[in-house]
Amino acid sequence: ALDAGVPNKQLRAQFKNLHIFTAVIKAYLRELKDPLLCSKYSNLWVEADGVKERSKQVELIKELLAKLPEANRTNIGYLVQFLSKLVAEKDHNLMTTANLVIVIGPNLLWKKDSE
């Protein structure tokens, strides 16, 4: 429904609890064999997070995204589009960027037990 052009007001009327969408996405992300950001790059993602200079950090993130399988990059694109729509409605759903980091973030990257 989010991509079907259904107006937000109509969507909110039909689905009283929009957190259902976030719960479904979290469940999907948790069920992946390998996280969306690929566990083999977990150390590089942590390293990129620690870069203080914004332009260098953005460059590292772009390089890491380019290394991901195409399917992962496609899913990340859809996820970012959805999350931006969710944040745009934060006055109605209380899902700020900070809240999304807490809710979704841990489901995007983890180390496999064998690593």
Q: What is the pTM of this model?
A: 0.77
Select from 51, 72, 71, 74 the least CA-distant residue to 61.
51
Which single residue is written with the structure tokens 């991509």?
3
43-98: pLDDT as tens digits: 999 999 999 999 999 999 999 999 999 999 999 999 999 899 889 988 887 889 99
Q: How far is residue 40's CA from residue 34's CA, in Å, rounded to a whole number?
A: 9
Select from 97, 74, 76, 73 the least CA-distant residue to 85.
97
Both tokens of 11, joined, read 């969507």
